[in-house]
Homo-oligomer: A and B are copies of this chain.
Amino acid sequence: MTKQLLGKEVSASIRAELKTEIDTFTGRKPGLAVILVGENPASKVYVGMKKKTCADLGIESFEHILSQDATEDELVALLNGLNADDAVDGILLQLPLPSHMDEDKMLNTISPEKDVDGFHPQNVGKLLQGQRTFKSCTPYGVMEILKFYDIDPAGKHVVILGRSNIVGKPLAAMMVQKESGANATVTICHSRTQNLESITKQADILVAAIGIPEYVTASMVKEGAVVVDVGINRVDAPETEKGSKLVGDVAYDEVSSVASAITPVPGGVGPMTIAMLMKNTVTAFKEHQAPLDSI
């Protein structure tokens, strides 16, 4: 019987722990600034979900909306103001930005101490070097799902499909560390990989993060492997009322028959991203408070 790895439950457990902790904070509450530039409908939905989760947990959220034609200078000025604002522990710049903006440059403007998304190069570098830092939320969520279900990657072969800066690369960086909950042998595959199936078939833990609907089929998966599906793709589904549905990067039904455990889509990795963002915000809050407490 294939086990479902329910990020929905894992994230609920993390949010509950955070709420309990936040309730003990006297005085100011953790603060998260959320910046939306432009009119991307999906971005609006994500920002709304983040604000709602903040409200549920007792994190103060500060929303900043810039128009589609805002300049880089305007955004930099806003970010610098938030960097200096003591009520703001974490800054989230919702991606993608309008095409006239340099995303790397804008992300690099966020103070590494407030970079709760874990995208600033300094934090990514610390992550790879094994130093303490904010971990990118989605791959951090993958690590937490495995931990929750007592799946220890140590010594195992973890094959990651996809080399994006927000999932594949930071996940590889986390998995390879010499520390508890990691210690995996890590392979990163991508569009240029030769003999892909022969490599994915070796995975004890296979992580799909390539953004291609139902790309991973049963023949690519070893019997008994753990399969983590990071993909969230909307595809046509004329049979449904909406006319579309969400699927992952894994062909769930057929891969379920081979895998020992698998994350569904939706309800798998998806809900983890916001939970880890909240966790990073609380961590940032505690670090910002510490120097004050010690006065």
Contact = CB atoms under 8 A, between A and B. Distances in A.
Contacts of A130: 165
Q: Is the interface of A mostly helix, strand, loop or mixed?
A: mixed
A186 B187 contact: yes
Interface residues of A, number: 40
Number of copies: 2
Interface in A108-152: 120-131, 133
A268 to B, nearest CB: 25
A155 B194 contact: yes
A192 B155 contact: yes
A185 to B, nearest CB: 4
Contact of A187 (B122, B126, B170, B187): B187
A163 interface: yes
Interface in A177-196: 177-178, 183-190, 192-195
A104 B121 contact: no
A156 interface: yes
Interface of A: 104, 120-131, 133, 154-157, 163, 165, 169-170, 172-173, 176-178, 183-190, 192-195, 199
